[in-house]
Chain A
Amino acid sequence: MAGKSLSTGKSLGPIRRAFAPWNDPAAKPFIQFQNVTKSFGDFTAVDDLSLNIYEREFFALLGPSGCGKTTLMRMIAGFEEPTSGHVMLDGQDLVGVPPYRRPTNMMFQSYALFPHMNVWDNIAFGLKQDGMPKSDIATRVDEMLALVKLEKFAKRKPHQLSGGQKQRVALARSLAKKPKVLLLDEPLGALDKKLREETQFELIDLQVKLGMTFVIVTHDQEEAMTVADRIAVMDQGKIVQIATPAEIYEQPNSRYVADFIGDINLLEGHISSTEGGVTTLDCDGTGAKVQVIQDGGAKLGDRAWFAVRPEKVAISLSPPADPSVNAVTGEVWDIAYLGDVSIYHVRLATGATVKATITNTTRLVERPITWDDKVWLTWSGDGGVVLTR
């Protein structure tokens, strides 16, 4: 079918143009953090941080608890004021503007629905606050109820709703005022896995449909990867890396990011060559040579780590053609059978463990490779990255 339409010269439908204003030097940032520091007593929650978020972007702040991501979001909402630095929204400095005058709305982790008001009144709350005419409020609330498919629940009180329904009310309430920025604080944390995954896709649809800027705070890397255009990985009040989900996953800039997002194998060693766009790392102990197609990022003699994802490691009972490069050998220590994939834990002579994920493409229950087998692990030259921090 595709071939036919190509041959007739017809288009395949609207081509999704890459949305990447962060690569466009002329693009004006929508939300800007300029050297923002926030301290609580001795504790520095956000440390001299600068960050640009663009209009219509779905931006995720990701990190472990206490990394400052929630504080960062609360500074956009106005619940915290920076100790120093500036927070700008659409060219306007937000510092000193109280939360009730900011054009942002937040969906709270606990939903924070007003328990004494029914669903309708909860959604109407912000609109009434703006002094919108009664008939307009009714139209807008009904519109919101339809958007989150809760028309039948308008007269219910929050305590009569399920977790997923509460989440929808909270979302409808925060969208009702058409905020310039919607802030989502761990919005799906209280939902079970299936509902969470469904809701993630609904959030993306909603964001595209409404054309709003969404900022989400989460500690769940899968959630961030699913919904966000870009992810900022944070640690101890600083941003470690900002990039698209694919870049974060495939080209982490540090062991911290590589380890935080997904599963990673790390082999430590020193750089023995950086010639011709190929970086060579001599691994400690085993003496295995790793050659990666990578220009820059490491200098000759640096301590460095080769980071490769388990699914990019191949496992085999027979040695590769050239066992001296991009290959290690060891014994199968453990196998984790997860149904769709199996993860082989291979112990090297140095005692280090390298994981290899193999997709289970057949229904065979007996796998050809099993415990205590001597195996070879190999990867391609563009399978991993060399990291120096």
Chain B
Amino acid sequence: MALTNSPSGHSRLRWLVVAIPYLWLILLFLAPFLIVVKISLSATAIAMPPYEPALDFSAGLGALWQQLKELSFDNYVFLTEDALYWESYLSSLKIALISTFLILIIGYPIAYGMARARKEWRTTLLMLVILPFWTSFLIRVYAWIGILKPEGLLNQLLLSVGVISEPLNIMPSTLAVYIGIVYSYLPFMILPLYATLEKLDETLLEAAADLGCPPIQAFWKITFPLSLPGVLAGCFLVFIPAVGEFVIPDLLGGSDTLMIGKTLWAEFFSNRDWPVSSAVAVVLLAILVIPIMLFQNAQKKASE
């Protein structure tokens, strides 16, 4: 007690509180990331681990320096030489972008409906959105196989109704990947959108109507601009993981569905080329983080 009450104890305690999130980030994000960066600068080797030089701190500082000098950017150069990687990145970005757009279009009306629903219903609706999380993500994607495969539930239904005479080949295909991503990431769009829309002051819409603005115009002039923070948060929450998505293209996509997550996995496990796959991961991070940081900076300036 005496320690925490003394001024020095106080400041120490404050330091500790501030330090915890930083320690967490250093330990669980920065350190692993630096290891990945280091591996990406190494060369492949038939060894355990399958790259060299393996960092060996026991050999002393001199040896460590020697090892660091052996690091090279060869793997990054290699990424630019093989079209597969660029195509994978671009295809991932395209799939993620289109999916994010689709999810926004589907998620916005749902979130809007929830936010405008009667108060006593809102908690229930929110629960229904969160409910799928109680089942494993993997199992839910597997369930889509059961629905989309040629002899799956969807084709059976359409055949029995007579809409089609031949089963549709939805899976495996890029279309199935879109369906999987839209389904899986929809809640991540709905939740932040709901949070901003629910806070929206409805008297603003009354004020707009009072000044001569019909409801649909009021939506575009008032509701939508004011929900932009939620739109952005939702888009980031969906877009970022969708770019690196591996499970969905692996299970629902065909061989022609290029996504960087799949490429990375193949590099890591099939080719056992840890350095190249690490380079793929580092580039992926750079592709995502740098534009996001620039964008957020711009946002901050705009709001001031």
Q: With A79-B206, A110-B203 in contact, is A115–B226 under 8 Å at CB?
A: yes
Smallest CB gap from A157: residue in B: B303
Binds A, one of B210-218, B274-282, B287-295: B210-218
Smallest CB gap from A176: residue in B: B211
A209, B144: Cα distance in complex, Å:
70
Question: Within 8 Å of chain B (Cβ to Cβ): is A112?
Answer: yes
Pair A99/B206 contact, Cβ less than 8 Å: yes
Work out how many contacts link A and B, with CB atoms closer than 8 A: 60
Q: Which residues of A lie under 8 Å from residue B211 when comparing CB positions?
A: 100, 105, 125-126, 129, 173, 177
A78, B225: Cα distance in complex, Å:
25
Question: Within 8 Å of chain B (Cβ to Cβ): is A194?
Answer: no
Pair B206/A100 contact, Cβ less than 8 Å: no
CB distance from A136 to the nearest CB of B (A): 15
Contact of B209 among A98, A173, A174 (CB under 8 A): A98
Q: Which of B187-214 contact A (CB under 8 A)?
A: 201, 203-204, 206-214
A108, B201: Cα distance in complex, Å:
12
A113, B203: Cα distance in complex, Å:
9
Smallest CB gap from B202: residue in A: A112
Question: Within 8 Å of chain A (Cβ to Cβ): is B222?
Answer: yes
Residues of B within 8 Å of A, CB-based: how many? 17
Pair A116/B225 contact, Cβ less than 8 Å: yes
A148, B59: Cα distance in complex, Å:
78
Question: Within 8 Å of chain B (Cβ to Cβ): is A130?
Answer: yes
Q: Which residues of B lie under 8 Å from residue A130 when comparing CB positions?
A: 212
Smallest CB gap from B303: residue in A: A157
Pair B209/A114 contact, Cβ less than 8 Å: no
Question: Within 8 Å of chain B (Cβ to Cβ): is A184?
Answer: no
A341, B210: Cα distance in complex, Å:
45
A235, B241: Cα distance in complex, Å:
59
Question: Within 8 Å of chain B (Cβ to Cβ): is A106?
Answer: yes
Pair B209/A100 contact, Cβ less than 8 Å: yes
Q: Which of A309-333 contact B (CB under 8 A)?
A: none
CB distance from A382 to the nearest CB of B (A): 46
Question: Within 8 Å of chain B (Cβ to Cβ): is A77?
Answer: yes
A98, B212: Cα distance in complex, Å:
9
Pair A100/B225 contact, Cβ less than 8 Å: no
Smallest CB gap from A112: residue in B: B207
Smallest CB gap from A170: residue in B: B207
Give the residue among A77, A102, A106, A130 with the most B Cβ atoms within 10 A: A106
CB distance from A169 to the nearest CB of B (A): 12
CB distance from B199 to the nearest CB of A (A): 11
A101, B203: Cα distance in complex, Å:
17
Q: Which residues of A lie under 8 Å from residue B226 when comparing CB positions?
A: 115-116
Q: With A99-B209, A100-B209 in contact, is A114–B204 under 8 Å at CB?
A: yes
A104, B212: Cα distance in complex, Å:
10
Q: Which residues of B lie under 8 Å from residue A116 when comparing CB positions?
A: 225-226
Pair A129/B207 contact, Cβ less than 8 Å: no
A173, B203: Cα distance in complex, Å:
15
CB distance from A332 to the nearest CB of B (A): 50
Contact of A100 among B204, B213, B221 (CB under 8 A): B213
A334, B211: Cα distance in complex, Å:
53
Q: With A112-B201, A115-B226, A116-B226 in contact, is A105–B210 under 8 Å at CB?
A: yes
Smallest CB gap from B205: residue in A: A112
Q: Which residues of A lie under 8 Å from residue B217 when comparing CB positions?
A: 129
A174, B210: Cα distance in complex, Å:
9
CB distance from B216 to the nearest CB of A (A): 11
A177, B214: Cα distance in complex, Å:
16
Q: Which of A68-82 contact B (CB under 8 A)?
A: 77-79
Q: Which residues of A lie under 8 Å from residue B214 when comparing CB positions?
A: 98, 100
CB distance from B215 to the nearest CB of A (A): 8
Q: Which residues of A lie under 8 Å from residue B206 when comparing CB positions?
A: 77, 79, 99, 106, 108, 112
Mark A173-203 against chain B: 1 for CB-CB distance below 8 A, else 0: 1100100000000000000000000000000
Q: Which residues of A lie under 8 Å from residue B222 when comparing CB positions?
A: 114
A125, B210: Cα distance in complex, Å:
11
Q: Which of B52-96 contact A (CB under 8 A)?
A: none
Pair B201/A100 contact, Cβ less than 8 Å: no
A125, B221: Cα distance in complex, Å:
10
Contact of B210 among A106, A113, A114, A115 (CB under 8 A): A106
A101, B221: Cα distance in complex, Å:
18
A126, B207: Cα distance in complex, Å:
10
Q: Which residues of B lie under 8 Å from residue A108 when comparing CB positions?
A: 203, 206-207
Pair B210/A100 contact, Cβ less than 8 Å: yes
A174, B221: Cα distance in complex, Å:
18
Smallest CB gap from A183: residue in B: B210
Q: Which residues of A lie under 8 Å from residue B209 when comparing CB positions?
A: 78-79, 98-100
List 18 A–B pairs whose Cβ atoms lie within 8 Å, in order of A's numbering: A78-B210, A79-B206, A79-B209, A98-B214, A99-B209, A100-B210, A104-B210, A105-B211, A106-B206, A106-B210, A108-B206, A108-B207, A112-B201, A113-B207, A114-B204, A116-B225, A126-B212, A177-B211
Chain A interfacial positions (CB closer than 8 Å to B): 77-79, 98-102, 104-106, 108, 110, 112-116, 125-126, 129-130, 173-174, 177
